[in-house]
Amino acid sequence: MMQIDFHAHILPGADHGSDGLATSLRQIALAQEAGIGLLIATPHFYPRHEALGPFLARRAETYACLTEALPADAPRIRLGAEVQLCRGLDRLPDLERLCVEGTRVLLLELPPDFSVRAYEQTLDALLYERKLTVVLAHVDRYVPGTVDFLLELGFLAQINAAPFCRLRTRKAALRRAESVQTVALGSDIHGVSTGYTEFLQMKRRLGPVCDVVMARTAALLGL
């Protein structure tokens, strides 16, 4: 089963994930050593603070810089974004350009002030008017009851590797990964300090469940 890192900050200078090309190339080399075959590049997009046009231009420029320097045997990369939810996000023109390349799959980060009541209209519109498949980024960071409610509404879940490596969060992460609504796993790599150590630990702890989730990811991406 192809190993897919669904959440990776690997574009050089696109956000605070990689400070330059050398860091990005090292990140990708570490991903390759960990057996990753496909990386989804997910630079942060904060619609409250940046217009879509400049973000897309920066993403394209940094992606071109990276791909020109990649070795021939490097893991494949697809462009995406980690989009922070804001009120009215559903009305953003060209919102689909933030989806994972070739799909209508949007990786959505909940803001610090999130409440269902405050964002209900926007959330509904993303699913039922824009008709996007919305994957909640790093659900391990949110209140479990909130996550469960959103999953019942039709959202999907991505889990980071880190909670599988901590005693206090491991059991909850393992239970969450077994849910059919968990469709992706991610390193959420920023820089190279931890590399893919946590991702490899996650794979060992999940065992066969890891391949089950990877199969869900592949289906989501049409692979």
pLDDT at 24: 98
Taking only the tens place, the pLDDT of each residue in 186-220 is 999 999 998 999 999 999 999 999 999 999 999 99
pLDDT band at 42 (very low <50, low <70, confident <90, very high): very high
- Specify the pLDDT at position 80: 98
Range 114-134 average pLDDT: 97
- In sequence order, the 6+-apart residues with CB closer than 8 A to the CB of 166 are none
Predicted local confidence at residue 100, as pLDDT? 98
Classify the phi-psi angles of 13: left when phi > 0, otherwise alpha if psi is within -120 to 50, otherwise beta.
Answer: left
Answering whether pTM is above 0.85, one says yes
Question: What was the pLDDT predicted at 173?
Answer: 96
Residue 140 is predicted with a pLDDT of 95
Q: Which two tokens stand for residue 66?
A: 């990276």
For residue range 46-93, list pLDDT tens digits in order: 999 999 999 999 999 999 999 999 999 999 999 999 999 999 999 999
Angle ∠(199,13,49) on CA atoms, nearest 5: 100
The superfamily in CATH containing domain 3-220 is: Metal-dependent hydrolases (3.20.20.140)
Give how far Cα 185 sits from Cα of 110, 164, 220, Å.
17, 11, 12
23 membership: H or E segment, kind and range: helix 21-33
Rounded Cα–Cα distance for residues 208 and 177 (Å): 11
Positive or negative CA dihedral for 96, 102, 103, 106? negative
* CA gap 160, 6 in Å, rounded: 9
1-33 pLDDT, tens digit each: 899 999 999 999 999 999 999 999 999 999 999
Percentage with pLDDT > 70 across the chain? 100
User: What value does the mean pLDDT of the chain take?
Assistant: 97
What pLDDT is stored for residue 142 in this prediction?
96
Question: Which residue from 222, 184, 201 is spatially nearest to 34, judged by alpha carbons?
Answer: 201
